[in-house]
Amino acid sequence: MPDLFARFFDTLYTMPLWVAAVWSLLENILIFAVCIAVGEWLIRRYANHAVTEPAPPLTLAEVLLAFSCVLLNAAVTIIGIALWRLELIHVDFGVNPLRILVDTVILFFAMDLLMYVFHRMAHHRLLYRLIHSTHHQYENPRPLTLFALNPFEVLGFGGLWLLLLMIYPANWLSIIIYLTLNIVFGLVGHLGVEPMPNNWIRLPMTRYISTSTFHAEHHQDGGYNFGFYTLIWDRLFGTLSPDYVADFEAARG
């Protein structure tokens, strides 16, 4: 298996950039399709645990925003590959389990903090209309809402990710694990239903992990819940919704 991945990355490093761009676009289209399919299944599966009212009918604007998001995510991937080829991004291709664990934890919490800061900045009155008000048009989220972002916001989050990789030479498998977690958390946050079990917010570890309720509250009231993967920064900086526990328990019924 390590040899297979080694050959894959060797091919990715040497193939023409336009070929890598095609593969990147196909990959992001596949991710989009899987998110929508899994998200719609989860909505049906947990229909009795609604966090928000059902999303209104789909609009052309929402579809176009999602389409542009997929294209820009593919562009960010290509920029990352180009930076890697220029040796501005360094990747560890070892298979040391401890290194993989440490790098995954560092990427997860570093991006959680960076995105919390970026998200709060995006709510500043000078930036809100320019980059973030677009996403807040959708108060009752659905899986597609994950991709309904202003292009400036997509590039902002993508830029943070590439900047972190330029600073920290992470393990290749940790990068893949983080990106997978990023998609999972993004999808869960835009379901409009709560799939997490009743005791999720009571257990010592999981109580700090984001839920669908957590992000849905932010869509309802943009003054709270700026985090993405955890509640840590919102608790630390006093931006956690005071209704979080009650809203979660109400959704779980």
Per-residue b or e along 149-169, where b marks 16 or more CB atoms closer than 10 Å to that residue's CB = bbeebbbbbbebbbebbeeee
Looking at residue 253, its pLDDT comes to 81
Q: Which of 100, 105, 119, 94 has its CA nearest to residue 239? A: 119
Q: Which residues of the chain have pLDDT under 70?
A: 1-6
Q: Which tens digit of pLDDT belongs to each residue from 64-120?
A: 999 999 999 999 999 999 999 999 999 999 889 999 999 999 999 999 999 999 999
Contacts of 150 (CB under 8 A, 6+ apart): 65, 130, 131, 132, 133, 134, 135
Looking at residue 126, its pLDDT comes to 87
E strand intervals along 45-195: none
Q: If you ran DSSP here, which 8-state letter would residue 130 be given?
A: I
Backbone angles phi, psi at 59, to 5 degrees: -115, 160
- Taking the C-alpha atoms of residue 17 and residue 221, their distance in angstroms, rounded to an integer, is 43
Cβ atoms within 10 Å of 23's Cβ, excluding its own: 16
Q: CA–CA distance from 150 to each of 70, 155, 207 (Å)? A: 12, 9, 31
Question: Quick one: the chain helix, strand, coil %, rounded to 5?
Answer: 70, 0, 25
Contacts of 231 (CB under 8 A, 6+ apart): 207, 208, 209, 210, 214, 240, 244
Q: Which tokens go with 162?
A: 């590439």
- Taking the C-alpha atoms of residue 251 and residue 193, their distance in angstroms, rounded to an integer, is 7
Looking at residue 3, its pLDDT comes to 66
Looking at residue 2, its pLDDT comes to 57
* DSSP states along 38-94: HHHHHHHHTGGGBSSPPPPPP-HHHHHHHHHHHHHHHHHHHHHHHHHHTTSS--B--
Our measurement of the distance from residue 129's CA atom to the centroid of its chain's CA atoms, rounded to an integer in Å, reads 21
171 beta partners: 92
Q: Residue 211 — left, alpha, or beta (φ > 0 → left; ψ -120 to 50 → alpha)?
A: beta
Looking at residue 99, its pLDDT comes to 97
Looking at residue 4, its pLDDT comes to 66
- Taking the C-alpha atoms of residue 247 and residue 92, their distance in angstroms, rounded to an integer, is 42
Q: Which tokens go with 106?
A: 């560092």
Looking at residue 11, its pLDDT comes to 86
Instruction: Give the amino acid at 249.
Output: E
Whole-number CA gyration radius for the chain: 19
50 beta partners: 193
